[in-house]
Structures are given as structure tokens and as C-alpha cells.
């Protein structure tokens, strides 16, 4: 029998991407898509690309009505708005995959320092951080999965195996990321409009981006001790994609091929991580519309620096694709189902 799924906050970019991916998933039936603004309207009014593919209407959010109609819900609403919704859905007996940041940080104080008050702290210990390549076993048994942030996904995947092996100094890591504009969501402000962004390129939230503690949390787990790092996000005039470059100091004399082999070995059973051959580097073009994370490796002998470069599609591996990957794992399916389309190029 098909897994019945609900999408809460289905009118935004990640909601639309969930619809696109789930509409071709052979094991799923989308039974409910909510929107406060567009309840009663057909999905295709907001996503004309889905006309004839998803022919149901948006509806109001009602956790009670979902009890009989869904086993699993994706919450694709902003942080802070997600926490009460997640609580209600869990209480109604659904499994939940939350795309917001509300359950990603294990420490409530850290959350409150970066995001504001947390009203569902007791749920934090029930949440599993949904990076399948690292937490696959825990995700299998989870009732609540905190889907990782887009920047953290692109930063953690290349660095985690390297830090776990102690190959680089955990102090002084620099992470520099560039994101397409869809990362800001469909309801973002005029600062993300075409003429504000086109032909421009800027850093933002320097030293204060909310994904910093999330990256630090996971990379601290990798090296077994707390670390702090510098993370600088940039906005680039493209629709989708994140390119992340990290710089860390090598503690031992390793060459590029050895590092590539370490990464390939770690991700041996992770079909969405592609570690590129020596001398090749990721391009957002090559992952667009797909759930892949491409990783390239460079050692600068002159400065003793390891440079790792990764590319993802922020809406797919950075959000909705990863959420479907998590659903597959939670439901005991092959994790690639529904996510097998090759990237779009160009
Ligand atoms: N865009 C990206 O690349 C990524 C986004 N995320 C996270 O995923 C979530 C959704 O992001 P995204 O789709 O980009 O955002 P959008 O702004 O595109 O959509 C958010 C949706 O949430 C609904 N919504 C807004 N405010 C509330 C509220 N107070 N209560 C209930 N529903 C609300 C809106 O629906 P309506 O007004 O119709 O009810 C809207 O369609 C966010 O938490 C975001 O941080 C995570 C990773 C990457
Ligand atoms: C380009 C852009 O604005 N990106 C967003 C990405 C954040 C996001 O998606 O929020 P989550 O924490 O829920 O992942 C930002 O920097 O705020």
C-alpha cells in the first residue's frame, strides 16, 4: 500500500519541490497539501508546472483531519512556526520530517541564542538530525527527523570524514559558501528581487549566520571535541545551487588521491555523494535538480591547506530531496526511490 503523505506549507519553494519529487515516487500518495493563503485553490494555480500531475487543492491545516489520511508529514514552514505544528502532528500519530531549523540543534540554549524561544524543548531529544550519510541507522527508527539546513549539508558532507580521521586541525576552519536566491524562500523580501540580485554578488550575515552553530554541532561530533569555525555565506544571481569551499590546515602529509580514497570509502554506501576524480571540481550545473552532492579535493602544498569544494542543489539535497531520502529510510524503502532522475544540464 502507498505511504500517505501530507505537506504542511506546500505553497513555498521547498513545498513545491516536495510535490515535484513525490509526484513521481512510486510508493507514495500525496493526500494533503496545506496553505493558509491558498486553501481551496488547485495546486496548479501556484505551480503551473504540476498541471495534470498533482491535481488536488490546497487545504487548511488541521492535524485532527490528518490522523486517518496520512502516516507521514513534511513540515515546510519557517522556523518558529514549525515547532507547534510538529508537536501537533506527532500527537496525532504521524511521523514528521521537519524542513525548518527548529529541531536541528540538540542544545536548546544554542537554539535560543540564534533563533529565539523554543516552545517544544522536550522534543529536541526525540529528533534525529536527518543527514542520511551519517545518521542512516538512527533515521530508520525516528519519528521526528530534523532535515538539515542547505548550507550545513554542503559544508558537513566533505569535512565530516576528514575531521573524523583527524587529518586536519579542527581549529581555524574557514567555510565560504555561495547560494542561489531560492535559498531565501518564495516569500522572501524585495531584497531578493531580480534587479536587486541580478549582476550582483555579496556576502551577508558575516560572522552571524544561523547555520554556523548547526555546522559546528555536527563537525564537533566528527572530531569528538567542540570546535568553532568561520562561515561566510554569499548570495549569487542564480536560482538554485550552493557551492561551498572550505579551508583547513593539514596535520599530516597526505596527497589528494589518499584523501579522495578516504572520502570514497566513507561514502561507499551513499549513492548521492559523488567524490570527483583528482583535478576535477564541482559545478552547480552538474547537480541542478538532483539529490547529488559533488565533492572535489585539492591540497595546497605551499600553504599546507586542504581545500574541499562541494556543490548541491539547495532545494533538493539541501531540502526536499534530502527530506524524501529520509522518508524512504524511515519507511524501510531503498533510499534512492523517487530521487533517481539525473541532474538537469545546463
Ligand atoms: N529554500 C531553501 O533552499 C531551503 C529552505 N529550508 C527551510 O524550509 C522551510 C520552508 O522554506 P521555503 O519553502 O524556502 O519557504 P517559502 O517562503 O518558499 O515557503 C514557506 C511556506 O510556509 C508557509 N508559512 C509561512 N509562514 C507560516 C506560518 N507562520 N505558519 C504556517 N505556515 C507558514 C507559507 O505558506 P502560506 O503562506 O501559503 O500558508 C509558505 O508557502 C523553512 O523553514 C526554510 O528555512 C531548508 C533548507 C533549504
Ligand atoms: C540565500 C538565502 O537567503 N539562504 C537562506 C538559507 C536559510 C534556510 O534555508 O533556512 P534553514 O535554516 O531552514 O535551512 C539564508 O541564508 O537565510
Q: 165 and 128: one domain?
A: no
Locate the ligand 2 atom nearest the alpha carbon of residue 319 and give its number: 14
Q: What is the mean pLDDT of the chain?
A: 97
Mean pLDDT of the 19-40 span: 98
Tell me whether residue 130 is in a domain. yes
Label residue 1 by pLDDT band (50, 70, 90).
confident
270-298, pLDDT tens digit by residue?
Answer: 999 999 999 999 999 999 999 999 999 99
User: What are the helix (H) ranges across 173-315?
Assistant: 194-197, 211-223, 256-266
Q: Which of 77, 129, 149 to mutate to test the pocket of ligand 2 (most atoms within 8 A of CB)?
A: 149
Task: Please check the confidence at residue 7 and state whether its pLDDT lies above 90.
Answer: yes
Q: 15 and 136: one domain?
A: yes
**What is the model's pLDDT at position 80?**
98
SS3 226: coil
108-133, pLDDT tens digit by residue?
Answer: 999 999 999 999 999 999 999 999 99
Task: Please check the confidence at residue 90 and state whether its pLDDT lies above 90.
Answer: yes
Q: What is the CATH number of the domain that holds 241?
A: 3.30.360.10
Q: 187 and 232: one domain?
A: yes
What the block records as the C-alpha cell of 274 is 559523488
Can you tell me the distance from the alpha carbon of 263 to that of 138, in angstroms, rounded to the nearest whole number?
21
Q: Phi and psi dihedrals of 294, rounded to 5?
A: -95, 140
Task: Please check the confidence at residue 16 and state whether its pLDDT lies above 90.
Answer: yes
Query: Does residue 144 have its Cβ closer than 6 Å to ligand 1?
Result: no
Contact 71, 11 (CB under 8 A): no
Q: 135 and 20: one domain?
A: yes
Q: 9 and 155: one domain?
A: no
Mean pLDDT of the 7-25 span: 98
Q: Which of 331, 311, 305 is nearest to 153 (CA)?
A: 311
Nearest CA to ligand 1 atom 42: 78
Percent of the chain with pLDDT over 90: 98
Name 123's Cβ contacts closer than 8 Å, sequence gap at least 6. Answer: 83, 86, 87, 90, 103, 144
Q: 140 and 219: one domain?
A: no
**How many domains are there within the chain?**
2
SS3 64: helix
Q: 156 and 304: one domain?
A: yes
Q: 135 and 213: one domain?
A: no
In 10 A of CB 266, how many CB atoms? 19
61-79, pLDDT tens digit by residue?
Answer: 999 999 999 999 999 999 9
For residue 285, list its beta bridge partners: none
Q: 141 and 224: one domain?
A: no
**What is the model's pLDDT at position 151?**
98
Task: Please check the confidence at residue 346 and state whether its pLDDT lies above 90.
Answer: no
Q: 95 and 227: one domain?
A: no
Can you tell me the distance from the alpha carbon of 30 to that of 18, in angstroms, rounded to the nearest whole number?
10
**What is the model's pLDDT at position 241?**
98
Task: Label the pairing between strands 3-8 and 72-75.
Answer: parallel
Name 38's Cβ contacts closer than 8 Å, sequence gap at least 6. Answer: 11, 45, 46, 58
What the block records as the C-alpha cell of 111 is 537554539
Query: Does residue 154 have its Cβ closer than 6 Å to ligand 2?
Result: no
Cα–Cα–Cα angle for 330, 336, 338, rounded to 5 degrees:
95
Give the residue numbers annotated as catalytic, written as ranges.
Answer: 150
Label residue 97 by pLDDT band (50, 70, 90).
very high
Q: 245 and 326: one domain?
A: no
The single-letter DSSP state of residue 278 is T
Task: Please check the confidence at residue 187 and state whether its pLDDT lies above 90.
Answer: no
Q: Phi and psi dihedrals of 96, rounded to 5?
A: -130, 135
Name 224's Cβ contacts closer than 8 Å, sequence gap at least 6. Answer: none
Tell me whether residue 342 is in a domain. no
Mean pLDDT of the 234-241 span: 98
Q: 94 and 136: one domain?
A: yes
Q: Phi and psi dihedrals of 257, rounded to 5?
A: -65, -40
Task: Please check the confidence at residue 188 and state whether its pLDDT lies above 90.
Answer: no
Residue 290 structural domain: 151-314
Amino acid at each position: 500500500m502507498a505511504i500517505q503523505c501530507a505537506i504542511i506549507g506546500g505553497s513555498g519553494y521547498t513545498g513545491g519541490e516536495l510535490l515535484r519529487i513525490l509526484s513521481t515516487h512510486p510508493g507514495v500518495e500525496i493526500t494533503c497539501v496545506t496553505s493558509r493563503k491558498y486553501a481551496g485553490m488547485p495546486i496548479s494555480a501556484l505551480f503551473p508546472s504540476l498541471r495534470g500531475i498533482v491535481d488536488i487543492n490546497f487545504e487548511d491545516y488541521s492535524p485532527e483531519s490528518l490522523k486517518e489520511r496520512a502516516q507521514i508529514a513534511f513540515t515546510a514552514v519557517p522556523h518558529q512556526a514549525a515547532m507547534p505544528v510538529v508537536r501537533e502532528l506527532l500527537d496525532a500519530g504521524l511521523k514528521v520530517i521537519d524542513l525548518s531549523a527548529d529541531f536541528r540543534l540538540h542544545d536548546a540554549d544554542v537554539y535560543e541564542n540564534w533563533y529565539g524561544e523554543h516552545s517544544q524543548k522536550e522534543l529536541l531529544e526525540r529528533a534525529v538530525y536527518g543527514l542520511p550519510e551519517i545518521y542512516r541507522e538512527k533515521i530508520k527508527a525516528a519519528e521526528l527527523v530534523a532535515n538539515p539546513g542547505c548550507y550545513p549539508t554542503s559544508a558537513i558532507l566533505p569535512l565530516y570524514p576528514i575531521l573524523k580521521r583527524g587529518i586536519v586541525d579542527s581549529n581555524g576552519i574557514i567555510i565560504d559558501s555561495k547560494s542561489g536566491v531560492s535559498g531565501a524562500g518564495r516569500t522572501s523580501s524585495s531584497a531578493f528581487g531580480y534587479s536587486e540580485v541580478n549582476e550582483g554578488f555579496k556576502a551577508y550575515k558575516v560572522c552571524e549566520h544561523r547555520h554556523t552553530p548547526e555546522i559546528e554541532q555536527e563537525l564537533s561530533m566528527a572530531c569528538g571535541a567542540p570546535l568553532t569555525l568561520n562561515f561566510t555565506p554569499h548570495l549569487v544571481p542564480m536560482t538554485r545551487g550552493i557551492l561551498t569551499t572550505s579551508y583547513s590546515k593539514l596535520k599530516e602529509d597526505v596527497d589528494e588521491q589518499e584523501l579522495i580514497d578516504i572520502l570514497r570509502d566513507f561514502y561507499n554506501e551513499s549513492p548521492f555523494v559523488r567524490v570527483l576524480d583528482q583535478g576535477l571540481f564541482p559545478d552547480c550545473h552538474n547537480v541542478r535538480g538532483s539529490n547529488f552532492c559533488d565533492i572535489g579535493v585539492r591540497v595546497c602544498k605551499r600553504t599546507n591547506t586542504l581545500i574541499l569544494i562541494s556543490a548541491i542543489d539547495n532545494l533538493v539535497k539541501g531540502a526536499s530531496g534530502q527530506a524524501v531520502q529520509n522518508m524512504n529510510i524511515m519507511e524501510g524503502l531503498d533510499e534512492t526511490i523517487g530521487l533517481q532522475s539525473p541532474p538537469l544540464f545546463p
